[in-house]
Structure 1
Amino acid sequence: MTNGPVSTPPTAPAVDPAVFTAVAQGHTHDPHSVLGPHLMPTSADGSAWAVVRALRPLADEVVVVTADGEFPARHEAAGVWEAVVPAPVGDDRAAHAPDYRIRTRYGADAQTADDPYRFLPTLGSMDLHLIGEGRHEELWRALGANPHRYSSTLGDVEGTGFAVWAPNARGVRLVGDHNRWTPVHPMRSLGSTGVWEIFVPGVGEGTRYKYEILGPDDGWRAKADPMAKGTEVPPATASVVVHTQHEWDDLEWMTARARRDPHSGPISVYEVHLGSWRPGLGYRELADQLTAYVAEQGFTHVEFMPVAEHPFGGSWGYQVTSYYAPTSRFGHPDDLRHLIDRLHQAGIGVVVDWVPAHFPKDDFALARFDGTPLYEHPDPRRGEHPDWGTYVFDYGRTEVRNFLVANATYWFEEFHVDALRVDAVASMLYLDYSRNDGEWAPNQYGGRENLEAISFLQEANATAYRRSPGVMMIAEESTAFPGVTAQTAHGGLGFGLKWNMGWMNDSLRYIAENPMYRRYHHGELTFSLIYAFSEQYVLPISHDEVVHGKGSLLRKMPGDRWQQLAGVRAFLAYMWTHPGKQLLFMGSEFAQDAEWNESVGLDWWLLDNPSHAAIARLVRDLNIFYKATPSLWERDFTPDGFEWIDSNDADHNTLAYLRKDKAGKPVVVVVNFAGIPHEGYRLALPFGGVWREAFNTDSETYGGSGVVNAGTVPAEPVPWHGRSHSAAVRVPPLGALVLVPED
């Protein structure tokens, strides 16, 4: 209730004009102690009053509007206006801060708005405690821009709470569309956590904003929100308020995901750069076209190169400036949710590239965020990456670790992503990565390992697997660092899968050789089985292998065009039958001729050429056969799922091996990288009976020459290579065949 009839208001307590000036200029940690409502001592007649102050520079008139009426404010100093208004007295007979609005007139233009400075902090004590400990696993719900709704006497209030971590700032101001980019919203510091906060009524979806941060050097910096959930389309750099409205329709997928071990099933990944797959498509168009295409080709997963916002498109997304905001180049964040939703409904998992290894030095983003090295390590020997001209995160700082660990959780929980492929892990693990002597400092034990980065990766992986059962963490790690896919409880890094860069380098080097000379490089193919089961591997033919002068997969093959196409067919069959999961970059599935160029897109017209359409058909059929054949994936990570039949036939450029499922059912594979067929090739078999040719890359269906076996192959009791049975088979030139036992 209110006081009843309004009596004569008392005089407000005097405030030093220098305090008003400090507030107006943003040189304050607590603007709410000056602005907003402040209860005054009860008057002699028992009436209750509050002084309301508002920052309205250049205003011609300011009026405080309450349930008791309108109260003109008086300009005090530096744009601060002040009015004394009645304070309501509750049933507890205590005075309470009034509900009010502020009407401001600039010339003939008058606007009435709620006051940000009458609201309590939007972060609770538990939020602040967890942030201080570096353990806030849902950090995006506390920091950044988040919607809030409050009830009040003059009507419900909706708006956005803004919170940012800037512990060394001397002042922080919020500017944006809502205040015409003028510094009238200084934020308050919430104590030792270094978090600054303000709730602004009326601010909603689509509002652009930034933080102006006063550093220890007395310089102001305009910064995008590190926790922004949306951004302007580059090259514009403002953050954007985003309130998701997407309603997920992938419950069946998510329920099944939580119940399964994702690493033990078939995984065939189609890697995509969203901007150049089919240029001009947004997330929603991709939801139709990409989903249909990936489903038709039979891949189990699609992998997006980084989708977090980045200023320079030519970085392909690997120079991230907004880790919590999907790039706005292709639409609203809910449009990305729609794309992932559609892929899930089609039975396709989603992998997203994640880049916690480094970040760019753009002035508007994370670099020197509050005027000091904050997200980056302060020692340039650890805080700068010489290869990429970027900063390196300070993995030993609890708040920075929290920022990154929560970011992984964010993509899993808010976007239903199924896996994160962690970029450039090797650069994180070693203090001397790409550094010469004298350019790096050893760890506390004198070693080259980055102990803080190792601990961070373990925490990120353990948190992801604990919070989101059924997801995968995948390492792009190019060294022999031990235990990348070992559990953290056993001292490992805790990844689920690791890219097999050794296999990729060796096999691509081998196929680049002329078949005449491949016999001298045979060990480059067989070497991968020495270590194939030391980690849980993915076999990657990624974007990095078809760009920057390396040529497309097709152009890596020697010989004329028929031989090149045959080489692609044989190599893909070898890849799909080798222990490990598969990843293939877009365009390789139809033997793209030119190397990838992100600015022009793929050569889709090649699918009008029967030879290239046949390659796409081969990949589709490989995926179908692969998914239907547990022998090719159930024992990917254990040596009992693989046996050499003949690893030494270098003279014929031929490999023969078998794969087995958990029941021991075998699949026999023969790959011939020679340019001639091998007729009557004696092939050892694990047992007698009839074997069926389940796959042959030289089939005319795939553009081959038709060197195939007539449906079935009888095993003969002729001992060969230590086995009791064998068969004489036709092995095609630059081709692969797969035999399975007839039931």
Structure 2
Amino acid sequence: METKKQSVKKPAAKKTSAKKAAPTQPEHIGLVRNDSWLEPFEGAIRGRHDHAVWKMNQLTQNGKKTLSQFASGHLYFGLHKLSKGWVFREWAPNATDIYLIGDFNNWQENEKYRCKRIEGTGNWELKLSEKALKHGQLYKMKVKWNGGEGERIPAWCRRVVQDENTKIFSAQVWNPEEKYEFKKKNFKPKKNPLLIYECHVGMGQDAEKVGTYKEFKDNVLPRVIKDGYNCIQVMAIQEHPYYGSFGYHVSSFFAPSSRFGTPEELKELIDTAHKNGVAVIMDIVHSHAVKNEVEGLGNLAGDPNQFFYPGDRHEHPAWDSLCFDYGKDEVLHFLLSNCKYWLEEFKFDGFRFDGVTSMLYYSHGLGEAFGGYGDYFNGHEDDNAICYLTLANKLIHEVNPAAITIAEEVSGMPGLAAKFEDGGYGFDYRMAMNIPDYWIKTIKEVRDEDINVCSIFWEVKNRRPDEKTISYCESHDQALVGDKTIIFRLIDADMYWHFAKKDVNDIAQRGIALHKMIRLVTVAAINGGYLNFMGNEFGHPEWIDFPREGNGWSYKYARRQWNLVDNKDLCYHWLGDFDREMLKVIKSVRNFQATPVTEIWHDDGDQVLCFMRGDLVFVFNFSPTRSYTDYGFLVPTGSYKVVLNTDSKDFGGNGFADDTVTHFTNYDPLYVADHKEWLKLYIPARSAVVLKKI
């Protein structure tokens, strides 16, 4: 798409008795001011910004209404109970006839349940008496078009259920007598820092089954609260036909998955989290949709391109799914309304947008190297998708200024988490996807004695200064079948035989030590937030494998074995305790994520790294064999106490150091003017310690 050049109003020239003032140059847009290397691409950056402004003006009729008012399709479309009767509406421009069929008419076409096209639009409407529908009844649309017909689940429906015997999905009339009333009003997420517990309701139980919203609220949420996380990122909420898709092949975008329970139970889960100071964000999937036609949007009314791009861009080549056409106003209306719906109806505190890289590029980022800035501005970017993401962020923060938006994006597109006014896309955070890749590569390819602390320090703090990130060592991606978690890469089969506290071998001891150090150095360098996937905090063994034909439809690996961390005789307990204490230390510094990361020392030969944040000193010795006595670090003058030590016996370490000792800095006349002295420490091999200035 061609982009319009931004018209820059020149400032009035100052009056002077001498000669005319030279014409002023347009000020660089914020992204370019913050990064001069982007200057050659300023035209493209401004073009994308102008495109979003133009589209926003078009959708809001040049400000006559708000973006939030535009994104209210869920209040119009779908099935709604009125003060007197019911109304059903659907967008289906290619349809020639639509009937509602269901329990109420024996699943047969009936004139009483025949929709009417609203003149001059592609919308259909049906008004019914109060007695025509009852709560709990099942229904679908019977859609006809030139050359065909089919049963369909409405695109805007809010409740979809699956028959246990036939496995057929149907929409369900949902109008319970008792509506859930949120007890916690005006909740605001804590973001200083944002500590995210990524979780999945269905696999959140010990039992080999699909867990429920209620079970998660009662059994898992208390663990999250106790461990010190202030946000849960919930996966697989939008209804999806195949459980094993992890929720990423969505069919009904407005329906919370019924396999976990009722909408009221989901609301109670969110409300309970809020009452305990925990934010709830949703893993939202707007990057693609499942191909299913009966359950999904694949062919709602005889036009496969109603919601999706035509031609070569119709299907995602790697995900076996369909790609939304972000250039259509009706699709923007659908997706933006979807964002607002989850915020308002369920009080979600924001979203982690899945698959953003796939949205940004015509190639979906597949086979792309992204080796330089030119790779982000070479014409293969989908301006429509970029515009949608920008508008989505504007809308979300208009509906809830305290909302959280996170982009899962691997290419490194500049400006993704920068302010809209600066030419950015407006996300609050972007995922630091380089960090887990780095840890996997290091564990797989680098010997312990060759670990480079300078490289570690670079990776954990490698980000654009004007964009906040969510750092993490591993997420659900690293726990799936075909991959391995950090703990499994480090210890592997020895976890089965040597993870009892009385029988820890050298391999398990090494894995336990590095698991703690990797997490500590990652969280210690955050500039926004930190994420952990459910169970990984205590080194959950094995992998995630959802029920499928290849495993006999077993739930054995689609669960979390909380009994392991609860067992004081097993090593998992050590790792869980360490994670809890680690977060407590991070939260002890006000606005920890905003404090500068000040390097004190690094030595790749010794494999020792030291840096400060606020009053905390972080010291790491990655050497597998060498312990150091009286290792000196030049720090602000004063006394320091140990607040966390990975080598503590409480966390499965050797307990070589006496952590009760207060450490006083040693005078050095060379650094008096800098108010610095030497902090001398004993640092055991393969350990890390955090000290606090007192």
For the aligned pair, the TM-score class normalised by the smaller chain equals: 0.7 to 0.9
Please give the residue correspondences for 1:690-709 in structure 2 after superposition, counting only pairs within 5 Å. Answer: 690-708=639-657, 709=659
Counterpart amino acid of residue 611 in structure 2: Y
1:67-109 deviation digits (Å, cap 9, x = unpaired) = xxxxxxxxxxxxxxxxxxxxxxxxxxxxxxxxxxxxxxxxxxx
Output the TM-score relative to the length of structure 1.
Answer: 0.74
From the superposition, tell whether residues 524 and 296 of structure 1 become closer, same or farther in structure 2 (CA, over 3 Å): closer
Rounded to whole Å, the distance in 1 between the matches of 2:458 and 2:106 is 66
- Counterpart among 462, 473, 487 of residue 419 in structure 2: 487
From the superposition, tell whether residues 683 and 436 of structure 1 become closer, same or farther in structure 2 (CA, over 3 Å): closer
What is the deviation of 1:683?
A: 3.5
Equivalent residue number for residue 553 of structure 1: 486
1:331-388 deviation digits (Å, cap 9, x = unpaired) = 1111111111111111111121000000011121201211113444343322210001
Q: Note if contact 1:311-1:321 (Cα within 8 Å) is conserved in structure 2.
A: yes
More displaced 10-residue stretch of structure 1: 425-434 or 704-713: 704-713
Rounded to whole Å, the distance in 1 between the matches of 2:153 and 2:684 is 59
What is the deviation of 1:139?
A: 1.4
Rounded to whole Å, the distance in 2 between the matches of 1:612 and 1:563 is 14
Greater relative CO (CA pairs within 8 A, separation 6+): 2
- Counterpart among 333, 336, 361 of residue 405 in structure 1: 336
Q: Note if contact 2:309-2:323 (Cα within 8 Å) is conserved in structure 1.
A: no
**Is 1:652 matched with 2:606?**
yes
**Is 1:604 matched with 2:562?**
yes
Q: Note if contact 2:361-2:380 (Cα within 8 Å) is conserved in structure 1.
A: yes
Rounded to whole Å, the distance in 2 between the matches of 1:469 and 1:435 is 34
**Is 1:589 matched with 2:537?**
yes
Please give the residue correspondences for 1:167-182 in structure 2 after superposition, counting only pairs within 5 Å. Answer: 167-182=93-108
> What SS class does the counterpart of residue 303 from structure 1 fall into?
strand
**Is 1:544 matched with 2:544?**
no
From the superposition, tell whether residues 515 and 652 of structure 1 become closer, same or farther in structure 2 (CA, over 3 Å): farther
Equivalent residue number for residue 725 of structure 1: 677
Equivalent residue number for residue 348 of structure 1: 278
Rounded to whole Å, the distance in 1 between the matches of 2:515 and 2:160 is 41
Q: Note if contact 2:417-2:426 (Cα within 8 Å) is conserved in structure 1.
A: yes
Rounded to whole Å, the distance in 1 between the matches of 2:469 and 2:622 is 24
The RMSD of aligned alpha carbons is: 2.6
Equivalent residue number for residue 670 of structure 1: 619
Rounded to whole Å, the distance in 1 between the matches of 2:362 and 2:519 is 37
1:467-490 deviation digits (Å, cap 9, x = unpaired) = 112111110011110101112222
More displaced 10-residue stretch of structure 1: 376-385 or 181-190: 376-385
Rounded to whole Å, the distance in 2 between the matches of 1:527 and 1:613 is 29
> What SS class does the counterpart of residue 160 from structure 2 fall into?
coil
What is the deviation of 1:200?
A: 2.2
- Counterpart among 661, 665, 676 of residue 715 in structure 1: 665
Q: Note if contact 1:160-1:204 (Cα within 8 Å) is conserved in structure 2.
A: no
Counterpart amino acid of residue 612 in structure 2: L
Counterpart amino acid of residue 157 in structure 2: A
From the superposition, tell whether residues 299 and 171 of structure 1 become closer, same or farther in structure 2 (CA, over 3 Å): same
Counterpart amino acid of residue 529 in structure 1: K
Output the TM-score relative to the length of structure 2.
Answer: 0.79
Equivalent residue number for residue 396 of structure 2: 464
Equivalent residue number for residue 597 of structure 2: 642
Q: Note if contact 1:677-1:730 (Cα within 8 Å) is conserved in structure 2.
A: no
1:255-300 deviation digits (Å, cap 9, x = unpaired) = 241xx7x54x121111112111104432112211122111111111
**Is 1:248 matched with 2:176?**
no
Equivalent residue number for residue 737 of structure 1: 689
What is the deviation of 1:198?
A: 0.5
Equivalent residue number for residue 116 of structure 2: 188
- Counterpart among 513, 518, 521 of residue 566 in structure 1: 513
What is the deviation of 1:491?
A: 1.7
Rounded to whole Å, the distance in 1 between the matches of 2:263 and 2:306 is 25
> What SS class does the counterpart of residue 70 from structure 2 fall into?
coil
**Is 1:274 matched with 2:197?**
no
Rounded to whole Å, the distance in 1 between the matches of 2:678 and 2:399 is 51
What is the deviation of 1:135?
A: 6.2
Counterpart amino acid of residue 668 in structure 1: V
1:619-674 deviation digits (Å, cap 9, x = unpaired) = 11122222222263233xxxxx1111124x112222211113xxxxx311012222
Counterpart amino acid of residue 549 in structure 1: G
Give the structure with higher Rg (CA): 1
Equivalent residue number for residue 324 of structure 2: 393
Q: Note if contact 1:476-1:499 (Cα within 8 Å) is conserved in structure 2.
A: yes
Rounded to whole Å, the distance in 2 between the matches of 1:183 and 1:326 is 28
From the superposition, tell whether residues 502 and 446 of structure 1 become closer, same or farther in structure 2 (CA, over 3 Å): closer
From the superposition, tell whether residues 163 and 134 of structure 1 become closer, same or farther in structure 2 (CA, over 3 Å): farther
Equivalent residue number for residue 28 of structure 2: none
**Is 1:416 matched with 2:347?**
yes
**Is 1:370 matched with 2:301?**
yes
Q: Note if contact 1:135-1:402 (Cα within 8 Å) is conserved in structure 2.
A: no
What is the deviation of 1:521?
A: 7.7
Equivalent residue number for residue 61 of structure 1: none
More displaced 10-residue stretch of structure 1: 511-520 or 727-736: 511-520
Rounded to whole Å, the distance in 1 between the matches of 2:346 and 2:653 is 43
Rounded to whole Å, the distance in 2 between the matches of 1:408 and 1:286 is 24
- Counterpart among 82, 85, 98 of residue 148 in structure 1: 82
> What SS class does the counterpart of residue 652 from structure 1 fall into?
coil
Rounded to whole Å, the distance in 2 between the matches of 1:693 and 1:373 is 63
Equivalent residue number for residue 36 of structure 2: none
**Is 1:687 matched with 2:642?**
no
**Is 1:501 matched with 2:433?**
yes
Q: Note if contact 2:631-2:682 (Cα within 8 Å) is conserved in structure 1.
A: no
From the superposition, tell whether residues 326 and 658 of structure 1 become closer, same or farther in structure 2 (CA, over 3 Å): same
What is the deviation of 1:524?
A: 4.8
1:30-55 deviation digits (Å, cap 9, x = unpaired) = xxxxxxxxxxxxxxxxxxxxxxxxxx
Equivalent residue number for residue 24 of structure 2: none
Any gaps of 5 or more consecutive residues in structure 2? Answer: 1-59, 369-376, 492-505, 547-554
Q: Note if contact 2:326-2:384 (Cα within 8 Å) is conserved in structure 1.
A: yes
Counterpart amino acid of residue 127 in structure 2: F
Q: Note if contact 2:434-2:459 (Cα within 8 Å) is conserved in structure 1.
A: no
Counterpart amino acid of residue 314 in structure 1: G
When the two structures are aligned, how many residues end up with a matched partner?
581
Rounded to whole Å, the distance in 1 between the matches of 2:101 and 2:340 is 29
Rounded to whole Å, the distance in 1 between the matches of 2:231 and 2:96 is 48
